[in-house]
Amino acid sequence: MRTFYPFAHWLLTVLLSPLISEALFCLVYQSPFKLAIFIEVYPAIISFIFIFSIPTFLCYFVLFFLLKKNQLPILVAKLCLNATAITGILITWFYLDGGFGYHQLAGTIISTVLIGFLLKLEKNPANSDQTYD
């Protein structure tokens, strides 16, 4: 498994989850998309998510290397990594007392699962004859 996968998953989740959350908010509350306000606060949201996701990323990164050593099938590895990310998201959410709205929690979880399964988790060709998922 290539080492860039955890970093790509983390950074794409940090960047895309606010967009998915905002789209869910617009769908649920049927409010017009206020693009100017969202663009103004987007850097602050990214900074907030980045800081609070560091502990989850560290756990995710350690698990990634444990899975890399054990050479599990790619689907099992992705399920374990996504479960770890979602658990970290929920722990952070409840630590912060969940005062933001469930569309943000749902958007973050949806983006984590989508990105986790869409990114290719390749095995090293030297370790296995299976190269892609």
* Ranges of each domain in the chain: 4-118
Q: What is the DSSP string of 24-77?
A: HHHHHH-----HHHHHHHHHHHHHHHHHHHHHHHHHHHHHHHHHHHHT--HHHH
pLDDT, residue 61, reads 93
pTM of the model: 0.79
Which is more confidently placed, 101 or 89? 89
Instruction: Give the pLDDT confidence of 57-77 residue by residue, as tens digits.
Output: 999 999 998 988 888 888 888
Determine what percent of the chain is predicted with pLDDT higher than 90.
Answer: 27
